[in-house]
Structure 1
Amino acid sequence: MHGQLPYFAARTQIIVLGFVCFGCPGMFNALNGTGGGGQVDRTAGNNANTALYVCFIFSGLFGGAIVNKCGIRFTMFTGGIMFALYSGSYIYYNHSGQPWFTIWAGAMLGLGAGVFWTAQGMVMMSYPLEHEKGKFITIFWIIFNLGGVIGGIVLLATNYNHEGPLSDAAYAAFLAIEVCGAFCALVLAPPSKVKRSDGSSIEIKRVENILDDALAILRLFADPWMLILVPMMFSSNFYYSYQFGPYNGSLFTTRTKGFNNIWYWGAQMATSFGLTKLLDYQLLSRKRRALIGVAITFCAVNAVWGGTLKMQSKYTHGASASGPTDYPGGPIDFMQTARAAGPCILYACMGIQDALWNNMAYWLLGTITNDATRLARYAGFYKAIQSLGAAVSWQLDAKDAKFQTQLIVNWVLLDLSAALMFYLSFRIKDTASEFAECKPESIERIEAEKAHTFNA
């Protein structure tokens, strides 16, 4: 540790970051995983998510500049409070039936979450040394997704004998945990005081003009590597609306939705732990690790969505005010062991695919550079494009697009993105400083013209 206090060690800060996300987006994920924010009619939840991700696009683009200007503690605390506001809004919806407050809270969450996730991405990608990036991502991912597991337990416990919309007690429990998570952000150390495991410091150039830095993020649309990864970013949250709504939200009883979330997010923890063994395996070149990781992800995508297509062929809609689901036998309850085993296991496998996809996305971005300022911009760009995809996907469900149509769009998009991830993997060198050497001459020329983007 080279003499630094354990509190200022990069690994300690990643652990603290994990608990911030455990309490805030971890609980949000558990709530969102029930479909429609836990409501039988998913319209309000879908529209709130659309408002969330539309606002997320803009806050993500400005996120890198705001984080560099205001620091990670203030930005993550403010963003964390917005998660609590969103969960609490459903208590009002339960009693009034009016969606406006939930939609407004979704928009406020989008503004806060774009900056929140930009700060998270900058920390997670820039604090570890190159050979530690997989391990640090896993430490974070396990703690973060433990939030989803605990959230699933909360949902199961508070709705065990309750059918229909989630109870006020469930929403209140989520609100309380999210407030605690937001306050954990104030424990984070300033990046300038953090030391990596070799004793080196985190260097972040001070931003004097937020607008100029935001324009630098927009200029990433001229960065060939960012453009290659746009489909990967666009698709990285796109499938949530289908998995949480037409699948988990439509097929299962209220308590089983919570039960499923325990295994969905638990599977992510185990998958992330296994993947890091590959991504940090130093006896293989980084290119080979990238190719193997993307290949595993590609196989998981096609296995999971192939199984989902088989399930989807059995029904066309979930329960609603107009009647029950047309799935044979009605909603599935986890106590119906023989009937529930296959569908519940498939949902857990969706969690495996999600962990593979997002872990590989962060790791691939981290191979391009080690510069914290650039990584903050990359993180903001990533979350903006990711949010654009999510806004589109939540509206597909809000507009009652056929479930099978949503499934096919997801599957095609993921396979296209995986092909481009393979292309990037073939260009990877063993250190980020060598990355530019593997680029085609035309790309080098474009980047030379845009050098101020990278060095601002």
Structure 2
Amino acid sequence: MKEFTRQFRWHSPWTQNVISGIGVGCSAGLYVALNLLGAGGGRPDSAQVVQVVNATLCSVWFLSSSFGGSILNKLGPGLTMCIGVQTYAVYVGSLWYYDETGKRDYPYASGPLIGIGAGCVFITAGYVATAYPEESEKGAYATMLMNLQALGSVIGGIIPVIVNRDSNTTSGVPRSVYISFIAIMVVGGLLCLLLQRPHKLKRDDGSVVAVNPPRGAWEELRSNLAVFKDPTLLMMLPAFFPSECFLVYSGAVNAHLNNLRARSLLSFIAVVLQIPAGWALQWILDHKEWGRRKRGLIGLTAVSSPMIVAWVWEMIRVSGYDRNRPPLDPTDWTEPRFGWIFVLFMLTWVSCQLWHNIVYYWIGALTNNPRKLTHYVGVFRGVLGAGEALCFGLDSIKVPFIAEAGGVLLFYIIGISIFYYLGLYHMQDTNYDKKEEGAIVPNHVLEEKGIAPNSRGVDATV
């Protein structure tokens, strides 16, 4: 109990990670739940409009994430994430407006706005999850982040399940769902103002998380651009690219094949299962008796094996689907054929969500420098957004499902291969021995090396 209380001190890194995760859950978590109802609005006749909006969103997200590390370093995590979460409320309001009026101006205007906001949210969350923990806690922080996002999707998913439990219609999202989502997003965004700058936080051993003096805007931009010269980071870009393509694909297939209450049930159960699966992966990634390379490779295998099976199965399943001719009898959860649809949806969703945990783990293994990690996470979210934008664009012109599934599978295979290579030949069991300017070395590690901690609690020259 004492350890639990210490972890949840107000200025502890762990508490800050929880607040950050709640912010992601109240924004991206609800966004995921809404998209899983079928292209955002859940109405087949509005799918193309919403896909265009999401394509715009993700295109802007690429830029805002790739260079948003400089924004985070200037504004701090609290204000950056608060602004980002509130843009999600604007986006949901635009979908509600479109469903009510059929006018496209507001949704189209919301796309670039939430693109900027999404970059702010995920740069902040990724920075906290990778820069704040010690090396032995990287898996736990990533799992907490993704599970709180999943919790937001659980909350967002149970609302449509309850509202639509007696409905077998194929389209439309009730007004009550939109109102609930907007209210949660506004409150969650305000909660994010409690996030503190890292130099105000202290670990349980008394060391601070980071001590980085403020830098000018031009110096921040140059630092951001410098990460694109890192050969290891550049090598990982194909692994970043497909990370959220499955959201677009799953939402589109879900809307094509199933009625509204079946879609609601699938989206709800998927995010529920993601939470225990994340804990299981954390047990592997933070296993104290294994070195970091062994933990990473075993975790990668545990995630990639079912992922490949799921996407091959997807390609076989949709080979005969015609996107321009949706079925006249959408699948309901009471039908026998829903069983296999359920199994495949869960397999695809859970394995692809856990891919984010793997990516965060690999990024965190590269460096202990918080400022550099800010930019690394930004590049990850930016490239991820580019992949999602491409999928939304392809969806808007209704490319065959089999082509979309095959492309996503190809990028996952390339990414898996790259991670195996980096894990085998580039991942080290610790970065504490690397002489990185600005790198974090906790007090207890300095003491183990026979070095007295300085007044900041950090020695960046070890």
Return the match for 1:239 from 236, 246, 252: 246
TM-superposed deviation, 1:205: 2.1
Residues 94 and 168 of structure 1 are in contact (CA less than 8 Å); yes or no, is this contact kept in structure 2? no
Residues 68 and 378 of structure 2 are in contact (CA less than 8 Å); yes or no, is this contact kept in structure 1? yes
* 1:130 is aligned to 2:135: yes
CA distance in 2, matches of 1:111, 1:17: 17
CA distance in 2, matches of 1:210, 1:199: 31
Q: Which amino acid in 1 is paired with 2:50? A: G
Return the match for 2:113 from 108, 113, 125: 108
TM-superposed deviation, 1:435: 6.9
* Corresponding residue of 2:371: 373
* 1:274 is aligned to 2:280: yes
Q: How many residues align?
A: 430
Residue 209 and residue 405 in structure 1: after superposition, are their counterparts in 2 closer, same or farther (change >3 A)?
Answer: same
Describe the superposition over 1:239-283 as per-residue Cα deviations: whole angstroms up to 9, x where unpaired.
3211111x2121111121111111111122121100010000121
Q: Which amino acid in 2 is paired with 1:278? A: I
- Secondary structure of 2:333's partner? coil
* 1:175 is aligned to 2:173: no
CA distance in 2, matches of 1:371, 1:191: 12
Describe the superposition over 1:111-165 as per-residue Cα deviations: whole angstroms up to 9, x where unpaired.
1111221111111111111101111222222222011111111112233325412
Residues 36 and 249 of structure 1 are in contact (CA less than 8 Å); yes or no, is this contact kept in structure 2? yes
Residues 62 and 115 of structure 1 are in contact (CA less than 8 Å); yes or no, is this contact kept in structure 2? no
Q: Which amino acid in 1 is paired with 2:429? A: D
Alignment of 1:122-201 (within 5 A): 122-160=127-165, 161=167, 163-201=170-208
Alignment of 1:60-75 (within 5 A): 60-75=65-80
* Corresponding residue of 1:121: 126
Residue 391 and residue 107 in structure 1: after superposition, are their counterparts in 2 closer, same or farther (change >3 A)?
Answer: same
CA distance in 2, matches of 1:417, 1:191: 32
TM-score by length of 1: 0.89
CA distance in 1, matches of 2:231, 2:349: 30
* 1:36 is aligned to 2:43: no
Q: Which amino acid in 2 is paired with 1:175? A: I
TM-superposed deviation, 1:77: 0.6
CA distance in 2, matches of 1:188, 1:260: 33
Residue 345 and residue 435 in structure 1: after superposition, are their counterparts in 2 closer, same or farther (change >3 A)?
Answer: farther
TM-superposed deviation, 1:43: 0.7
* Corresponding residue of 1:212: 219
TM-superposed deviation, 1:196: 2.3
- For structure 2, the 5+ residue unaligned runs are 437-460
CA distance in 2, matches of 1:145, 1:282: 26
Residue 129 and residue 425 in structure 1: after superposition, are their counterparts in 2 closer, same or farther (change >3 A)?
Answer: same
* Corresponding residue of 1:441: none
Describe the superposition over 1:33-86 as per-residue Cα deviations: whole angstroms up to 9, x where unpaired.
222212213111111111111111121122111111111111111111000000
Return the match for 1:90 from 80, 90, 95: 95
Residue 357 and residue 4 in structure 1: after superposition, are their counterparts in 2 closer, same or farther (change >3 A)?
Answer: closer
TM-score by length of 2: 0.88
CA distance in 2, matches of 1:183, 1:130: 30
- For structure 1, the 5+ residue unaligned runs are 319-323, 438-454
Residues 86 and 106 of structure 1 are in contact (CA less than 8 Å); yes or no, is this contact kept in structure 2? yes
Residue 49 and residue 157 in structure 1: after superposition, are their counterparts in 2 closer, same or farther (change >3 A)?
Answer: same
Return the match for 1:21 from 14, 20, 24: 24
Alignment of 1:38-53 (within 5 A): 38=41, 39-41=43-45, 42-53=47-58
- Secondary structure of 2:205's partner? coil
Describe the superposition over 1:302-328 as per-residue Cα deviations: whole angstroms up to 9, x where unpaired.
11112212321342227xxxxx623xx
Return the match for 1:229 from 222, 225, 236: 236
Residues 91 and 114 of structure 2 are in contact (CA less than 8 Å); yes or no, is this contact kept in structure 1? yes
| Identity %, equivalent residues | 27
Residue 40 and residue 211 in structure 1: after superposition, are their counterparts in 2 closer, same or farther (change >3 A)?
Answer: farther
Residues 52 and 107 of structure 1 are in contact (CA less than 8 Å); yes or no, is this contact kept in structure 2? yes
Q: Which amino acid in 1 is paired with 2:147? A: I
CA distance in 1, matches of 2:106, 2:176: 19
Residue 206 and residue 40 in structure 1: after superposition, are their counterparts in 2 closer, same or farther (change >3 A)?
Answer: farther
